[in-house]
Amino acid sequence: MKRVLTAAALLLLPATGAFAQQTATAPARHEAHIADGPVDRAAVDKVLDGRLAGLETLYRDLHQHPELGFQEHRTAKLLAGRMRALGFEVTENVGKTGLVALYRNGPGPVTLVRTEMDALPMEEKTGLPYASRAQAMLDGKQTFVAHSCGHDAHMAWWVGAAEALVALKSQWRGTLLFIAQPAEEPLGGAKAMLDDGLLTRFPRPDYALAAHVGGGMPVGTVVMKEGVILSASDALEIVFHGRGAHGSAPSSSIDPIVMGAHFVSDVQSVISRQKEAATFGVITVGAFQAGSVGNIIPDSATLRLSLRSFTPEVRSLLLNGVEKTAQGVALMAGAPAPTVTRLNGSAATQNDTRLMERLAPVLKSAFGPGAVSIPASVPGFSGSEDFSELAVSGIPSAYLMTGGDLPETLAGYKAKGVAPPTNHSPLFAPAAGPAIRNGAAALILSVLTLNGTAAP
Give the pLDDT confidence of 77-92 residue by residue, as tens digits.
999 999 999 999 999 9
The predicted structure's pLDDT at residue 371: 94
The residue type at 36 = D
Q: How much is the average pLDDT of 402-430?
A: 96
Instruction: Say whether both 242 and 329 belong to one domain.
Output: yes
Task: Calculate the alpha carbon distances from 169 to 11, 49, 104 in Å.
Answer: 35, 18, 10
Plot region of 183 (φ>0 → left; ψ -120 to 50 → alpha; else → beta): left
Instruction: Quickly state the pLDDT bin for 14 (edges 50, 70, 90).
Output: very low
Predicted confidence (pLDDT) at residue 4 exceeds the cutoff of 70? no
Which of 305, 329, 346 finishes a domain? 346
Instruction: Say whether both 189 and 237 belong to one domain.
Output: no
Domain that holds residue 334: 233-346
Domain annotation covers residue 61: yes
Plot region of 314 (φ>0 → left; ψ -120 to 50 → alpha; else → beta): alpha
Neighbours of 147 (CB within 10 A): 26
Domain annotation covers residue 256: yes
Domain annotation covers residue 11: no
The predicted structure's pLDDT at residue 44: 77
The residue type at 104 = R
pTM above 0.85, yes or no: yes
The predicted structure's pLDDT at residue 28: 40
Domain annotation covers residue 78: yes
Task: Calculate the alpha carbon distances from 75 to 67, 114, 149, 432, 447 in Å.
Answer: 7, 15, 16, 18, 24
Predicted confidence (pLDDT) at residue 7 exceeds the cutoff of 90? no
Domain annotation covers residue 3: no
Instruction: Quickly state the pLDDT bin for 5 (edges 50, 70, 90).
Output: very low
| Percentage above 90 pLDDT, the chain | 88
Q: How much is the average pLDDT of 376-404?
A: 96
Predicted confidence (pLDDT) at residue 395 exceeds the cutoff of 50? yes
Domain annotation covers residue 8: no
> 288: domain CATH number?
3.30.70.360
Instruction: Say whether both 57 and 100 belong to one domain.
Output: yes
Domain annotation covers residue 282: yes
DSSP run (H or E) holding 441: helix 432-451
Instruction: Say whether both 44 and 169 belong to one domain.
Output: yes
The predicted structure's pLDDT at residue 455: 63
Helices 312-333, 256-266: axis angle to 10 degrees equals 150
**Residues 279-296: pLDDT tens digits?**
999 999 999 999 999 999
Residue-level length of the chain: 456
Instruction: Say whether both 404 and 418 belong to one domain.
Output: yes
> 401: domain CATH number?
3.40.630.10
Instruction: Say whether both 215 and 247 belong to one domain.
Output: no
Instruction: Say whether both 336 and 421 belong to one domain.
Output: no
Which of 346, 370, 396 finishes a domain? 346
| Sign, Cα dihedral of 45, 213, 220, 421 | positive
**Residues 136-164: pLDDT tens digits?**
999 899 999 999 999 999 999 999 999 99
Instruction: Quickly state the pLDDT bin for 25 (edges 50, 70, 90).
Output: very low
Instruction: Say whether both 239 and 275 belong to one domain.
Output: yes
Give every CB contact of residue 272 below 8 A, 6+ residues apart in sequence: none
The residue type at 392 = V
Cα–Cα dist 408/12, whole Å: 20
Please give the tally of structural domains in the chain: 2
Instruction: Quickly state the pLDDT bin for 9 (edges 50, 70, 90).
Output: very low
Instruction: Say whether both 387 and 336 belong to one domain.
Output: no
Instruction: Say whether both 192 and 179 belong to one domain.
Output: yes
Which of 106, 117, 49 has the alpha carbon at shortest distance from 83?
A: 117
Instruction: Say whether both 71 and 199 belong to one domain.
Output: yes
Which of 346, 365, 396 finishes a domain? 346
Instruction: Say whether both 281 and 392 belong to one domain.
Output: no
β-bridge pairing 222-225 and 371-374:
parallel
Domain annotation covers residue 294: yes
The predicted structure's pLDDT at residue 453: 79
